Amino acid sequence: MSAANLSKAVGNSSLRAWSNRHARLMEIMYSAFVPVLVALRPLARFIPSKILKPVIKPAEKLIKGTMFDCHMCGNCILSSTGMSCPMNCPKNLRNGPCGGVREGGYCEVTPSMPCVWVKAWEGAQQMRHGDRITLLQPPLDQSLSGRSSWIAVMQADHSTGRGEDTSKTTLTRSKVQKSDRSFSPLQAKLNAGEFTITSEFNPPDTPDADHIRSEAEQLLKLCSSVNITDGAGANTHISSTSVAALLSQAGHDPVMQVSCRDRNRIAIQADVLGASALGIKNILCLTGDGIKSQDKTQAKPVFDLDCTSLLEMLTHMREQGEFLSGRKLDKKPEFFLGATSNPCAIDPHIEVGRIEKKIRAGAQFIQTQYCFDMDAFKDFFTRFQDQGLHEQCHYLVGVGPLSTARAAEWMRHNIAGIKIPDEVITRLKSAKDEAQEGIDICVELIQQLREIKGVAGVHIMALQQPEKVKRIIEQAKLN
């Protein structure tokens, strides 16, 4: 980056932060400005666009670019995002933040940058209509890129997007996502109120179907279901769909992960419809890890959707029997839809709002990132219960064994979104057998979680260590 461009970027970042800190002032100014644009509608009807655009669009780009680092996406929702432009999020999240928020509220992908969506929620707290941040936002309409939102308001032309005023046009869903009907054994067990165990399965890098099944079945003998990871950590592995199909055809009930990082909405709809045809019922929706510093740093991230808009799209396919475009399906697919949560690392107020949006978008079960901080979890979950959200979805808490204090320190410093308290690391350091102590800590967390109303089960993550999963289950008396 040239010195001039660097200076401009720093300047824009500073003004963007100022605008966010003064979101209420920006809201007042915007509220005064919109009626002016509306008043100009009669005039705009008689002025050709070829005359309006050269005048209005550069002015909008200059002002909004300076104040908000606006990208002129044509889908402006600034007044619904705390005056923090979501286009500055490296993952293009429209319903953020993601689960990878770092310590202090910094971005997973660009650690030196404050998370755009954490700032959005903070800005929304100042605003009179700050509750608009809880609205479900659709994915970007790419055909509107470069469009002037000001001209769209003047011409009353927000028909192809939800526009800046989303308060009346945003799709809302029934709050209660739990259902008596069960599409899968996993859903039936959760609906029955049984404390449920699931686990993470990172498939081996092989096309050998027998080997894959053999590895997965070590966990499936212990758990109700396993999650097949989808390019975990932005590394290349065998597809989640293919492994889920192998397990489904062998009589198991896997959870297929779908990440928004690598595929657009066309490919994802094709994949999940194919998964349904192969007998796969459980789908966990993820935004996905950032690509930076992983397996293929030269790859281009897609992020056409985020987790929330993916959930909304799949719910639409299941309930309405049609693609996102409105084209009808011959038969409705049967999905049990899940999402992720990070209750220990993200501000609990923000996390409750984030998960509530996912539930309204269609999430029926939630699986969390590792939870090592019980105090932080209880703070979050009390707020979650106060909103009645534990009655609207099945909440499974992520747990796992820490092998050593050194490994724990590496995790909390290198894996975005993981919070491990100092006392846990101190306990590991002082143990004679750190590996066993890590299992003991995990078991103690599970025992505490079983006592909390609304916790439906645990999701055990122990990378390629099925023997540890077995020891945890036996020691916690879960079997």
The pTM for the full model equals 0.91
Q: What is the pLDDT of residue 2?
A: 45
Domain of residue 329, CATH code: 3.20.20.220
Is residue 165 in a domain? no
Q: Is there a single domain that holds both residue 209 and residue 101?
A: no
What is the distance between the alpha carbons of residues 16 and 205, in angstroms, rounded to a whole number?
A: 44
Strand partners of residue 227: 200, 255
Rounded to 5, what percent of the chain is helix, strand, coil? 45, 10, 45
Shared domain check, 110 and 210: no
Does one domain contain both 199 and 84?
no
Give the amino acid at 406. Answer: R
Indicate whether 315 and 391 sit together in one domain: yes
Among 139, 154, 169, residue at a domain's last position: 154
- Do residues 307 and 449 both lie within one domain? yes
Q: Is residue 170 part of a domain?
A: no
The pLDDT, as a whole number, for residue 159 is: 46
C-alpha–C-alpha distance, residues 59 and 154, integer Å:
15
Give residue 296's pLDDT.
58
Instruction: Write out the two tokens for 216.
Output: 């997965």
Rounded Cα distance, 91 and 85, in Å: 13
Looking at 154, 171, 206, the residue that finishes a domain is 154
Same domain, 86 and 214: no
Looking at residue 180, its pLDDT comes to 66
- Asked if residue 286 belongs to a domain, the reply is yes
The confidence score (pLDDT) of residue 4 equals: 42
Number of domains in the chain: 2
Give me the pLDDT at residue 14, please: 79
Structural domain ending residue among the three candidates 133, 154, 175 = 154
- Count CB neighbours of 183 within 10 A: 18
| Paired tokens of 82 | 């705390």
Q: Does residue 388 form part of some domain?
A: yes
Q: Same structural domain for residues 95 and 12?
A: yes
Q: Tell me the C-alpha distance between 296 and 307, whole Å.
A: 22
Q: Calculate Rg over the CA atoms of the chain.
A: 23
User: Using the 8-state DSSP alphabet, how is residue 79 labeled?
Assistant: G
Give yes or no: residues 148 and 201 share one domain: no
Q: Give CA–CA dist 294/273, Å, rounded.
A: 29
The boundaries of the domain holding residue 60 are 3-154
CA 152-91-96 angle, 5° bins = 75
196 lies in the same domain as 342: yes
How is 379-422 classified by DSSP, letter by letter? HHHHHHHHTTGGGTSEEEEEE-----HHHHHHHHHHSTT----H
CA distance 162 to 171: 10
In a domain, 264, yes or no: yes
Helix (H) or strand (E) holding 205: none
Residues 407 and 328 in one domain: yes
Helix extents (H) in 341-373: 348-361
Non-local (6+) Cβ contacts of 68 within 8 A are 15, 16, 19, 78, 83, 84, 85
pLDDT at residue number 7: 39
Q: Which residues of 153-169 are buried (b: 16+ CB within 10 A; e: fewer)?
A: bbbeebeebbbbbbeee
Segments of the chain scoring below 50 in pLDDT: 1-11, 159-176
Asked if residue 160 is part of any domain, the answer here is no
Return d(Cα 282, Cα 449) in angstroms, integer: 24
In a domain, 98, yes or no: yes
Say if residue 143 is in the same domain as residue 218: no
* 21 shares its domain with 95: yes
* Residue 368 to residue 67: CA distance in whole angstroms: 36
Six-digit token string for 394: 């099945």
* Terminal-residue alpha carbon distance, the chain: 57
Cβ(212)–Cβ(243) under 8 Å? yes
Pairing of strands 336-341, 365-370: parallel
Q: What per-residue confidence (pLDDT) applies to 380?
A: 97
**CA dihedral sign of residues 19, 21, 26, 27:** positive
Whether residue 300 contacts residue 243, with contact meaning beta carbons closer than 8 Å, is answered with no
Positive or negative CA dihedral for 461, 466, 467, 470? positive
Task: Evaluate whether residue 169 is within a structural domain.
Answer: no
Pair type for strands 282-286 and 394-399: unpaired
429, with CB counted inside 10 A (0-12, 13-18, 19+), is middle
